[in-house]
Structure 1
Amino acid sequence: MYNDYRVVVNTAAGRRRYMQYLIPYVVSSGIVDRYDIWVNTHNGADIEFFEQVAAQFPVVNLVWQPDGVVNGNASINAFYKDCVESDTIYFKLDDDIIWMEPGLIEKMVKFRLDNPHYFLVTPLVINNALSTYMLEMDGKIKLDAYYNSSASHPFLWRSGIFARELHEWFLDKYLKTGKWDTLHVGRKEMGMTRFSINAVLWFGDEMRKFGGVVPGDDEEFLSCIYPTRRGVSNAWNGDAIVAHFAFFTQREQLDKAQILEKYGEVCRSQAMTDSRFAESFSEVGRILDAVNTHGPELMQRESPYRSVANPKTLRSKVKKLLPSWVLDFKSVLNGKKEQQRGGFIIE
């Protein structure tokens, strides 16, 4: 509870390799009343991980896909229908939020209550195109050129090389030195524009106005369509920071650079200064190790959900007809092309 408001965190899950770092932040928070893990996966090992976490931490509540179907992002929308409770603040976190500044959840809930006129509020997110744009405009980061404000920017959103440079810049200059607060940029309003909803808060009372029915692309609807129709804006709390691991186009480059493991070391160091976080971090790690030990057999479990056959596109049909060496050669060329386009961050 916070100022008579219930605080419910939720995450569409998910991938245990990321959530080993996210979960301890949430379950160790003193103001979170419930942590809803939206089980949106067929992966038996991930599901076992979530079930063991729920058994260990009473605050964790597993929410099963209401329609009994899992189809990646397309099956997430049904979960929003339950995010409409009165006097409740919801904080939705992507499963690959892998670092939070101390006290982040309470800071964001306070910001939410202090600014009720916005539809969504979000912290400053490391590896989020529009958050990077704010850092650029405030002179917190110096890039090799001007990059415009676009949620799907070809470099700020798509590029794995840029994401690697950005994470390494943040890790080396701000996390390892404990100076992340020097990146704070204050409150920033936004309207009639899409942004990546990696970490967003809303009031259940506001979501209830449309019954939690989110049509189509949830990010487009929640960040842009609905607030535009209502004539309201969204806002960043630029004085609160989280780190988001990767968009799908970036993962290969970040895994090669062991970025996730580097954040893991930062989390371990953070645990040394916070006993409550340390206890949660240790327990989640124990559960993860136990699940990974039996990973192959857990992966053979039958999914509790139906699968959906996605329609084949012309592109996918052509790719299936091409010999593997052609695809491998194309992948190598694309990799070299992106590598040549490094050097985004000057300082």
Structure 2
Amino acid sequence: MSILVKYIERAVKRGIVDEYILYMNTDDSQVSDRAYGYQLAEQHDWIRIIERPLKHPGPKQRSTGYAYRSFTDLETIYVRFDDDVVFVDDAAIENLVRKKIEMEPSKAIFPIIWNNALVSWYLQQCGTIPREWGEVSPYCMDPVGWANGPFAVKMHELLLGHIEAGTVEQVYMYQDFPIKLGEQFSVSCFASAGKDYAALEQPGVLVPDEEENFHTVHWPRVTGQPNILIGNAVVSHFSFFPQRPFLDASGVLDRYRELADKVVA
């Protein structure tokens, strides 16, 4: 989170982002996490905190779906980030928002999410990721793209090399891709419109209430409007839990932190 907020601050200073909302899907035991979030909000007048309105009886991540009850402003494009997004390309947020405004009808607009199994499949088809690292299939929990730690380390090292060399545009894809209706995948970052949530039967109430299923499976199928993966926006998602021991031992997070520290220096 301390890495991601540097990129949001850059976007705020450029006039691209109006407000950064921290959705506190936290347990009472997460004392230091909650304190850090509120400390950020005290330091920056462009950060606002929303506490989750309900606690889902299932796994904690199910409670993220309740956030959209606060995201129904008709004039707002929202860009959602996981808290472990550790890099945001210079043009990513603006390109996501512009494409959401321009590419109607559509539902969610997704960037190239680095370390996302479905996106990794697209990147392999484009020749950006070597197949020798392991063949990725277009499945959100693919054994290589989602669960393979050494593969994730190689992925991050590849992107970090481009960031450090100033050549991130070399991993852009040559076009935007409508994603197959109902294709489930991890939703670490996307742009969506408040007017779409306001138009739900109960404004902002997702049915089904699980955020990922709603956005990638249910909503595109029932509306016939696809999600779009755009080729000129890159963000980097740090880790899925099976990858974490390998990534923690690799040193890549320290490299991301060093890069973030230069963003608003």
Q: 1:86: Cα distance to partner?
A: 0.6
Structure 1 position 170 matched with structure 2 position 159:
yes
Amino acid in the other structure paired with 1:142: P
Partner of 2:2: 20
Inter-CA distance 219–141: structure 2 relative to 1 (3 Å threshold):
same
Q: Which of 163, 185, 197 is residue 195 of structure 1 equivalent to?
A: 185
Partner of 1:103: 91
Partner of 1:86: 74
TM-score, with length taken from structure 1: 0.70
Structure 1 position 218 matched with structure 2 position 200:
no
SS at 1:125 equivalent: strand
Partner of 1:255: 248
Residues 58-107 of structure 1 deviation map (CA, whole Å, 9 limit, x = unaligned): 11000011126795202222111111111111111000110111132122
1: distance between equivalents of 2:138 and 2:25?
A: 31
1:151-166 equivalence runs, <5 A: 151-166=140-155
Q: 1:234: Cα distance to partner?
A: 0.7
Q: 1:216: Cα distance to partner?
A: 4.1
Q: 1:126: Cα distance to partner?
A: 0.8
Q: Which has the larger radius of gyration?
A: 1
Q: 1:199: Cα distance to partner?
A: 0.5
1:46-57 equivalence runs, <5 A: 46-57=33-44
2: distance between equivalents of 1:217 and 1:154?
A: 23
- Runs ≥4 residues deviating over 3 A: 68-71
Partner of 1:33: 18
- In the comparison of the two structures, how many residue pairs are matched? 253
Unaligned runs of 5+ in 2: none
Inter-CA distance 266–28: structure 2 relative to 1 (3 Å threshold):
closer
Partner of 1:337: none
Inter-CA distance 69–157: structure 2 relative to 1 (3 Å threshold):
closer
2: distance between equivalents of 1:23 and 1:266?
A: 13
2: distance between equivalents of 1:52 and 1:138?
A: 43
SS at 2:3 equivalent: helix
Residues 238-275 of structure 1 deviation map (CA, whole Å, 9 limit, x = unaligned): 1111111001111111001122112112223x43xxxx
1:172-321 equivalence runs, <5 A: 172=161, 174-185=162-173, 186-192=175-181, 193-210=183-200, 211-214=203-206, 215-268=208-261, 270-271=262-263, 277-278=264-265
2: distance between equivalents of 1:68 and 1:165?
A: 37
CA RMSD, 1 decimal: 1.6
Structure number with the bigger relative contact order (C-alpha 8 A, sep ≥ 6) is 2
